[in-house]
Structure 1
């Protein structure tokens, strides 16, 4: 059966090409920003808090995502230093982006005298929704897929024809791991919205996001064929995911039993940094 992959380029003007990957990532960021800003306003933060944060967080996330990838591919990049800045050839890592964003938010929160935990609690549903949308950029690029499968395997999953066809790469069909992670993240998004109503203690919504995302990423990463490796048998994303699960659970327990924490829906604490 003939299959025709989708064109990863949305607009081709000769020297200028606009890729679907960038458009889809942009949509995820824009939607996440809108949701976070609306929630921040509801909880009493200044109107431009997230707009000001994104001015710093987006470039830092991009830089750290690239540095993370380069670090774990140093054998290649040390011999080809000119390729380090060639981000258009691929090579960014979501864990690197998250690390850079968290560091940026810590600094931003201290400068603004706002609770870091309040900011990331508000942002958590937006982050995981953005990740769910962003995986469709990988779909358009036919990347971040899993191991080889048969066409009948994909058809038995009752996937739309365009997804089945897009998973046909260089003469073989592959696990649509982009889809597995996107669906997992959409469920996580719904869960976090539900937990907002439960009114958890401050910081616990974000820690729940870390745990949820890391559990899904650990198992899905095991199916992928493009993993960054720490050793021949250790996938970096799986090691980091397990570490984040343990750390998030430990912080969840420690903070709940050590501090008299405010609740998620408590009024804004601008001007007073709290746990």
Structure 2
């Protein structure tokens, strides 16, 4: 792989689409988690592992079946969720994690440092806490599934979407932890977020995340642009229920339908405006006569 920074290797538009889909997937699982935990919070971490080819080709099949599973579970409205484990949901190559209360761990640490080795070396937890920090090894599971799908020699990227930007809180320092993880393992990471916790310094967090070339921090504006310029993200999705139809044909159809509807509405509005203007002019002419 080239020595270029990660943001120069991957297609930024494709990354934006993937992170938007990952964010939406995480949001959609929150009602399921709400059936299993005594409280629900906005903060979640949704993570997946993809290849460079999958990102640059906008091949997001990795999200299709998990999304279908979530929709089926939401429709059933029961609490028998076999992919739930300890404040988390796990789907093949995707994990959605809530913050743990005991021991106190944020989602980023649960994913990248489940044994507490990095936090211990950073001096963020005591030796006593270190011995009791032993969470599920989500990343190992995802890597195994990735190798099953893409082959052991395929290079991968760990994609992490956190509702809040990885924190700078004194006892967690998730931004520093991500940076340290990438340096130790030489792993590629893409990180994104949509909000900032009131006690986190966003500028400091972004500076830490942008400091290492193997980490690409995608700012929210890339996948949540202002409403006036917002693209219809659905045109990029793979089919959830129409898998037999080629993607390119379906995308073209959706785009043409959207354009046609817009033209129709515009022409209709023009005709109404012209009629109102004509009536107004006619009435004024009559009055003058």
TM-score band, normalised by shorter chain: under 0.3
Higher percent of residues as helix? 1
- Bigger radius of gyration: 2
Higher percent of residues as strand? 2
- Larger RCO: 1 or 2 (CA < 8 Å, sep 6+): 1
Q: What TM-score results when the alignment is normalised by the length of structure 2? A: 0.25
